[in-house]
Structure 1
Amino acid sequence: MGTITFLLVLSFLVFFHELGHFVAARYFGVKVHVFSIGFGKQLFAKEWRGTTWQFSLIPLGGYVKMKGQDDSNPALIESGDDSYNTKKPWQRIVILFAGPFANFLLAAILYFSIAIMGASTFAAQIGTVQKDSPAFHAGILKDDLIVRINEHEIKSWEDIGKIIVNSQGALKFYIKRDNKLIAKTINPHISDSQNMFKEKIKKRMIGISPSGKVVQLDLSLSESLVYAYEKTIFSSTMIFQGVQKLIQGIIPSSEIGGVITIGKVISDASQSSIIALFTITALISVNLGVLNLLPIPALDGGHIMFNIYEMITKRKPSDKVFMFLTIAGWVILGSLMLLGIYNDINRIFLK
């Protein structure tokens, strides 16, 4: 059942990505010959409105084959208003960007659905108070519930961190303790900490940690939209930064996961709850969008760079350069996939 869920989720993500390309291409009048979920041998196909819609043998990806675009033959020139290579560079960029954008849009839709169904988060309840910290000296106790900071209502533990980090000076905390509301003024101090990539940083803190209690957020329609937007932006930023840290060597290459890890994560989430499955699917969708925007020639980001080059220089890269960079891009992608599978196998046998 887990394998079926994995294939369904992956096919859905690929479909949405390629649908972005398809819609943008058709908007600019480009003919789409093939819309494929998967690569390799054709398993099922149906022609509809001039496009062959098909499922192929290897379900780890997909593509839309447009008139006038063929990475294996960069010298291909097909004339006509319905050809990709007769479109202006900015129009081609829109077509290329539409795929990753569709992934970001899908993630936002999933996060919005999660918010409507009942997103859960850590309660703003204190678990521990660090000795000699600002919170300790202010008289904050274990199990205190923070309901407001200054004029900001607190709904989750995440709200507390945001306000402390993005504020200056002392803050007025309103604490619920034994059904009584107590006001405490706390002046955060700059302390050593770690970010999600385990880098040492300094940030404003008051010396508290959550109790671990989980609560369900009761969000209005507008708050659900904000939740979806913020979650999509946060996950996108996190993945962009993760790629940057990987290149810098801050994150070891052993952390790269492959299809086995992805499949296990999706399978575990599907057995947990629909919200867990939606959360993982949204994160993978954002991941797919971000990775496709990397300036690697075989990806959408690489093709966008080629078109930006054409816009600036008023000429296309030579066929020889285009072919060389595209092959190099596929080598990079293939190497990353093999590394991911190698790491997956290592994790299995090192358990």
Structure 2
Amino acid sequence: MGILVALLVLSVLIFFHELGHFTAARFFGVQIDVFSIGFGKRLWTKKIGKTEWSISAIPLGGYVRMKGQDDTDPTKVSYDEDSYNTKKPWQRIVILLAGPFANFLMAFLLYLAIAYMGVPKLLPYVDKVTKDSPAYQAGLQKKDKILQINGINIRFWEDIGKQINASQGKLTMIIERDHHLKTLTLKPKVIEDKNVFGEMVKRRIIGITPLPKQTTVIYGFTEGWKYAWDETVKASTLIFKSVQKLITGEVSTDQLGGIITIVDVTAQASHAGILALFFFTALISVNLGVLNLMPIPALDGGHIMFNLYEMLRGKAPSENVMYYMTVTGWVLLAGLMFLGIYNDIHRLMG
């Protein structure tokens, strides 16, 4: 069941991405020949107007084929009035940006739904205090509630780490214990630890773990929009940095995941509940948006690059250049896909 949910999630995200292209193309009067969810053999096709709507056998992608635009053969062009090729470069760029924009919008709407459904957050209660740690030496105890750090109010457990790492020198901490307030002073310990990218970084700790005591925060109308915006920006920044670090070699390519990992983790998220599924679906949606903006021929980012070239030079790249760069892009994408699948299999085998 989890795998079916994962495939459904991927299909919905792909549909929204292609719907973005479709909507912008139709706005500028471009004819859409095919709107397909999936690749390979068509399992279902219905022609509505001049567009063939299809569901294909391999649900690992999708495409919108506009008149005069074919990634499999960039030399197939059309100069009819309703063709993609006859539109101005800036119009084509808008059409290309509409797909990734739809993914970012989808993520925003999912985060907005999460905000109104209620976001689970850990309360700032202490569970374990590591022996001989700064917290232990300062007298922090189990079930203490941390109220303030250096004059900044603490509402949730996540606020504690932020304030510890944002501070310099010693900390002045106000806690609640047995309905009484106490003031503690302690100096965090600096350690080396791995960040989300697997890099070694320095961070400040005091040696405590959270008590599994949480609340659900339901945001108001305007606060929900801010939460959704912040989470979308945070996820986008994380993905952009991940891609950048992969390209520069700061993060090893063995960290790259493929379709098997995506399906596996999405299936797990579906078992964990609707909130977990929404969180992970939003992250995948942002991932699709960011990756499609990469300047690789055959991706939206590559086509945007070609159109920017045309805007600056006043003429499009030659058909030979377009053809060979597109073929190179497909080879690169295939290599990345196989690398991701190889890493997936390697992880599954332990």
Provide TM-score, normalisation by structure 2: 0.89
RMSD after superposition: 2.6
Instruction: Report the CA distance between 1:138 and its aligned residue.
Output: 4.9
| Structure 2 partner of 1:210 | 210
Deviations 1:201-222 (A, max 9, x none): 2345555443454432233232
Separation of aligned partners in 1, 2:58 and 2:241: 30
Gap change, CA 1:31 and 1:331, over 3 Å in 2: same
Structure 2, unmatched stretches of 5+, are none
Residue 33 of structure 2 is aligned to residue 33 of structure 1: yes
Q: Given the superposition, is the C-alpha separation of residues 193 and 7 from structure 1 closer, same or farther in structure 2, using an over 3 Å criterion?
A: closer
Q: Distance in 1 between matches of 2:186 and 2:93?
A: 51
**2:224 matched residue in structure 1:** 224
Alignment of 1:303-314 (within 5 A): 303-314=303-314
Aligned partners of 2:199 and 2:251 also within 8 Å = no
What is the DSSP-based 3-state SS (H/G/I as helix, E as strand, rest coil) of the residue aligned with 1:9?
A: helix
Offset, 1:8: 0.9
Which residue identity is paired with 1:91? Q
AA in 2 matched with 1:289: G
Which residue of 2 is the match for residue 69 of structure 1?
Answer: 69
1:155 and 1:217 in contact (8 A); partners too: no
Counterparts of 1:292-331 in structure 2, within 5 Å, are 292-331=292-331
SS of 1:337's partner is helix
Counterparts of 1:20 and 1:171, CA distance in 2: 50
CA contact (8 A) 1:96 1:304 kept: yes
C-alpha separation in 2, matches of 1:207 and 1:156: 17
Q: Is the 8 A contact 1:189 1:206 kept in 2?
A: yes
Give how far 1:17 is off: 0.6
Task: Point out the more displaced range, 66-75 or 190-199.
Answer: 190-199
Is the deviation greater in 262-271 or in 135-144?
A: 135-144
Alpha carbons of structure 1 residues 152 and 90: separation in structure 2 relative to 1, 3 Å = farther
Map Cα deviations across residues 300-336 of structure 1 (whole Å, 9 max, x no partner).
1111111122222222112111111111111111112
Residues in 2 aligned to 1:106 and 1:152: alpha-carbon distance in whole angstroms: 34
Amino acid at match of 1:116: Y
* Aligned mates of 1:218, 1:183 — CA distance in 2: 31
- 1:249 CA displacement: 3.1
Counting only pairs closer than 5 Å after superposition, residues 144-183 of structure 1 correspond to structure 2 as: 144-149=144-149, 152-166=152-166, 173-183=173-183
Look up the match of 1:94: 94
Q: Which residue number corresponds to residue 5 of structure 2?
A: 5
Using the alignment, how far apart are the partners of 1:177 and 1:219 within structure 2?
Answer: 29
Counterpart residue number, 2:48: 48
State how far apart, in whole Å, the 2-side matches of 1:251 and 1:114 are. Answer: 31
Answer yes or no: is the 8 Å Cα contact 2:75–2:323 preserved in 1: no
Larger mean Cα displacement after TM superposition, 224-233 or 95-104: 224-233
- For 1:76, the aligned partner's letter is K
